[in-house]
Each structure stands twice: as structure tokens, then as C-alpha cells.
Amino acid sequence: MSEVFLDTETTGLSFHEGHKIVEIACIETKDLVPTNKVFHKILNPKRDVPKQAFDIHGFSTDFLKDKETFDNVADEFIKFIEGKKIIIHNANFDLGFLNGELSNINKSKIDKLNVIDSLEVARNKFPGTSNSLDALCRRFNIDLSRRTKHNALLDCELLREVYINLLEAREPKFNLTSTSQNQINSVEQVKFYNKKILEISEDEKKKHKEFLKSEIKKNFY
């Protein structure tokens, strides 16, 4: 099956507050192996980029003013993701912007049933810990040296590595049977080595032989 790893960068936290997408990246994979097909667009949001957002991704208002707008790339984007499973980290954030932009130009929204949220997968595997993309990369020893700023294309590449590790991650399991057996063996060894060996008298040996003879007669005759 084909998948798409998707990420966006924006001017802010909420589409409904007037913020817009400034970068979209998608990497196509087949059974999680890259096909070398990539969709990557830097967009003019038709608004100013707040300093807080600039500090995160580094795209300034001046840099973006001559770039394409979302409506110019929407059809190409839709075609690229069509029929594929979409994997997004913190999907509600990206879908909020993408579906908002698609609705504005009378295009169908992305169906959440076609989306896997890797953040939810991570939270189920590692509850109570940080599951940001950075934190997961550190957990799985994935190189973050190139991630000096948020970059949608790089983040897709990192997300693919994280997702593969999430699928392969196994919680430590305790083999109680093996552990118990080892404990039993250890106890038996201790018992053996701590046994006190006693010498028996000749009289006791004689009585023991007589006992055995009587028992044999009872059982076999």
C-alpha cells in the first residue's frame, strides 16, 4: 500500500484565527519505503508572518510574498495524496489548516479515516512522556542535527523514521515462567550446597536393608 507522510508550517496556531499555511511537504512511500515522489511547496499566505512563527520556521513575509498561493497548488496536492494513507504527526493541527484552505476554494476536505496520527500512536505506546517529533527522534536515536528550524520536508523524512520505529517498538516483557524457573533452580542449588551430610551407623544400615526387603516382598509378591 502507498502512504504519504505529510507536514505543514504555518503563520500561527489556528486557521480560524486567520492564520495560513506557508509550507506543505509530502513524501510518498510504498510499504514505508520511499518512492522518491515528493510534493513540496512554499506558499504565500497573503498576510504577515508573526515573529513567533518566523522564529520557528524562518520564512519571512518578504520571502513569501512572491510565492504561489494555496489555490494555485491545490489540485496538484489533491492528486498527490489521492488514494493513499496519510500519516501526520499531530494530525488535528495540520488537517485544521488543510481542510480550512480546501473549504475556502470549494474542494473536498481530507477524510480523517484516511489519516493516521503518529502522535496518537506514540501516546498509546509511551503514555505520560513527551511525544513531540523531537522527543521521539531522541528516543529512537534519530539524527536531529539538520533540524535547526522547523522544515516541513525534513520533518516528513524524520517522521517516516519515527513511524517505522513506532511500529517496531516493543515494551519490555517479563518472562515469568523463565524467571520463576531460574529462581527455583537457584533455590535448589542453594539447598543442595547447604545440605549437611551425616554418616549412618552399621546398625542403621542393617535396619534399612531389612526394611527394603520387606517392602519389596509387599509390592512384588
> Which domains are assigned to the chain?
2-168 (3.30.420.10), 176-220 (no CATH)
Q: Identify whether the C-beta of residue 155 lies closer than 8 Å to the C-beta of residue 200.
A: no
Q: What is the mean pLDDT of residues 56-68?
A: 97
Distance CA 197, CA 18 (A): 88
Residue 99: pLDDT above 90? yes
∠ CA(59), CA(61), CA(64), 5° rounding?
A: 65
Per-chain mean pLDDT for the chain: 85
Distance from the Cα of residue 55 to its chain's centroid: 27
Rounded to the nearest 5 percent, the helix, strand and coil shares of the chain are: 50, 15, 30
Q: What is the SS3 assignment for 33?
A: strand
Of 164 and 208, the one with more pLDDT: 164
Residue 43: pLDDT above 50? yes
The per-residue pLDDT for range 167-185, each reduced to its tens digit, is 986 544 444 444 444 544 4
Distance CA 180, CA 42 (A): 60
Q: Which of 187-191, 201-205, 207-211 has the lowest mean pLDDT?
A: 187-191
Check residue 148 and give its pLDDT.
83
Q: Identify whether the C-beta of residue 11 lies closer than 8 Å to the C-beta of residue 53.
A: yes
Q: 218: part of which helix (H) or strand (E)? A: helix 202-220
Region of residue 141 (left: phi > 0; alpha: psi -120 to 50; beta: else): left
Of 215 and 70, the one with more pLDDT: 70
Residue 194: pLDDT above 60? no
Distance CA 82, CA 212 (A): 86
Distance CA 109, CA 120 (A): 21
Q: Which of 75-79, 91-95, 162-166, 169-173 has the lowest mean pLDDT?
A: 169-173
- Which residue numbers are catalytic? 150
Check residue 211 and give its pLDDT.
54
| Banded model confidence at residue 40, pLDDT cuts 50, 70, 90 | very high
Q: What is the mean pLDDT of residues 28-50?
A: 97
Check residue 213 and give its pLDDT.
53
Q: What is the mean pLDDT of residues 118-135?
A: 97
| Banded model confidence at residue 147, pLDDT cuts 50, 70, 90 | confident
12: which residues sit within 8 A by CB, 6+ positions away? 18, 19, 50, 52, 53
